[in-house]
Amino acid sequence: MFTGIPEAALDFFDDLELDNTKSFWTAHKHVYDDAVKAPLEALLTELAPEFGKAKMFRPYRDVRFSKDKTPYKTHQGAEVPYDSGSGWYLQVSAAGVFTGAGCWGIGAESLARFRAAVDEVIPGEQLRSILADLEEHGFEVGGEKLKTTPRGYDADHPRIELLRHKWLTVHKNYGFEPYIHTPELLDQVRSDWRHARPLVEWLAKYL
């Protein structure tokens, strides 16, 4: 049963940001297991009947091609995949709890399909309406965007800002709200994921 994200989880990542070493991780892995991994797994298990099985990301960074060789991620993320690369996301870090939905990274063929759908009036306006509704519910629209007009489209296109997206997400930062440490967080995430379902389904249909 999910009872909340302990304050110890945020403290763990706060300390990890200051001492991102194998020795620190080894000495405090029990804190990660008890305060981060177990509560997050409990939360995702309770959400699974409605949204599907979640995948928790590994806490280790891939440093093979990075100048930053610190070995561990300073957050714990999890995703619930839906279809065609879309889904829901949840993250715990020193900054609190963060949730979102959408698609993180789109291949060239999927991006072409996305832009073709945005270009059409009915699906394009449907997406714009979905995003407007999510913003009214406190979500922020994100995702990498081109600074210029994508090839093949006019700069004065009525949905040019959507066409510039290379991938599309919405997110909401709960931060340090007191309810993140209580069972109420489950209801908050469930409600927000329900609000984001139309976006997830739109992306699954058109990517």
Q: Which residues pair with 75 in a beta bridge?
A: 93
Percent pLDDT > 90 in the chain is: 93
Inter-axis angle of helices 7-18 and 22-31, nearest 10: 180
pLDDT digits (tens, 9 = 90+) for 32-48: 999 999 999 999 999 99
Q: Fold for 7-206, please state it.
A: BirA Bifunctional Protein; domain 2 (3.30.930)
The string of pLDDT tens digits covering residues 153-169 is: 999 999 999 999 999 99
Tell me whether residue 23 is exposed, middle or buried, using C-beta atoms within 10 angstroms of its C-beta: 0 to 12, 13 to 18, 19 or more: exposed
Q: Which two tokens stand for residue 113?
A: 């399909």
Residue linked to tokens 């305060």? 35
DSSP class of residue 120?
Answer: S
CA distances to 151, 161, 203 from 146, in Å: 11, 9, 19
pLDDT band at 70 (very low <50, low <70, confident <90, very high): very high
Q: For residues 82 and 55, what is the distance between their CA atoms, to the nearest angstrom?
A: 12
